[in-house]
Structure 1
Amino acid sequence: MTAVIYSLRVSLSSLYYGKAGVSTVTAMEVKSLLIALIFPVIAASQALNAVSLDDSPSNECGKSAKLGSGSQIILTTNGKTETGICGFLINRIEKTDTKCPYPGICARIDGSRMGSCKSKVAFTGKYFDKTPDSTQELSCYMKPAGAKFCTQAPALRVEVTESADYIVKQEGEYAFNITVYTQCFDNKEKLIVEYVEDDFQGPDLESAWRTNYILGIIVAACFCCVFLILLIVLKCYYRNKPYAGIKEDR
């Protein structure tokens, strides 16, 4: 970063002042130069916050990172790990001047495709003392994008686990894009790990039961009508049967 800033200063000096110290470029050229130099720096800083939990050469399995206030880390995967398990520990770092009564860490699911029930992602709030850890999981029974898992623990461990028969597969069957960031809470939560749902609503069981009850009554009424029609037809047939009541001559 220091080298880039120094290069920027040298480039601006050489462009603005020639040998005689006279400006030689226009404002538009300076703006283009700033964009060309600053954009790679921004892109590089964003890339540093991306963590791969897979079998790629740049994976961060078994490593850890520090997360300061206002910062975030993006967790991604290609759906395959090297050994069937990949863990990453995120330690929350608070500034001394931070006025937050109950700081915490949240993991927001920006996107997920858990096509296999033989893999899962566990979010565990780590206290490193007598306080028990608590875990929430993301598996094939997933929630839609937007759900988030929060903990007031000083650290959050994210662990990807694959079953033994899934490891031998050549292609990955799951993917996710998870953003981990700090968040300030107003009070101490009863649960160590808070699960905040999105607007997803489950099926209305009472309405479904009422609908099935009404359909059952309609079907039963239809069967009764068919039975009555058959009785009427048979009665009319025997009443109007030819030679009814006439004994056969022997």
Structure 2
Amino acid sequence: MLINMHGDGYKTVSNSWLICDSSNQTTIRAKYQKNWQQIANKFQNYDQHLIFESMNEEFTGQYGNPTQPCYSNINSYNQIFVDTVRKAGGNNNGSRWLLIPGWNTNIDYTAGNYGFTLPTDKYRSSSVPGNEQRIMISVHYYDPWDFTGADSGASTQWGRAATNPSKRSTWGQEDHLDAQLKKMHDTFGVKGYPIVVGEYGANDKTSSDSSNNKYRANYAHAVVATAKKYGEATIYWDNGATGQYGFGLFDRRSYAVTQQGIINAIMSGLGGGARSAM
């Protein structure tokens, strides 16, 4: 199970407050610290099956290269988060795995030279071996967005199996996926920091292309298999929507599985079962 602060930094969300380019950073940091203090106290005795993540897709809301001092403020939030959880006490907070994102959980802006700083973990429990990390790095993967997330039927196919070049993006195919996840491994994984691809997936465009689910499954399989290759964990983004442009794999009201083929592809990518044809 994972608990994170989700959406508090979106300027498009009413009453959002974790705004990295706000001038009122003293108030924001104090509120952020109090929030995590309460959460860590509430769940202090939950075991290592519970992971805390400091925030979700935190950035200015403007896409493009990170800006300063906003990135410095995000780094500060991450440090406050680690220190607060560790100091909260209880049986498990001192050794709990903590998940840390960079700018907008973007791979390039986290692994590249854009200002991301790993927080120190000086208050962790002495029971944790000195050569072992208890911090993981959080990223999301939705490349190419015109296939995975755009509410449009222009791009409905993905990967080398695509049959219609006009329906496949000009970038973001298997080679790009491998290079991006390798970049995370080479930057953080080799130093003992586990990588979590905390969101990935592709939305439903079968209204535009009846073969779309095949490529959604191929995409999910490729992300999971490539992450496994580099020792990284993956979490599919199921937003509860199972209709047009939804990411959902099952109906949350009836509990019926709606995308068994994608689930099979995920399990196959993990090496946990055979894929069935869609």
The interval holding the TM-score normalised by the smaller chain is under 0.3
The structure whose residues are more often helix, as a share, is 2
TM-score normalized by the length of structure 2: 0.25
Would you tell me which structure has more strand in proportion to its own residues? Answer: 1
**Larger C-alpha radius of gyration, 1 or 2?**
1
Higher relative contact order (CA 8 A, sep 6+): 1
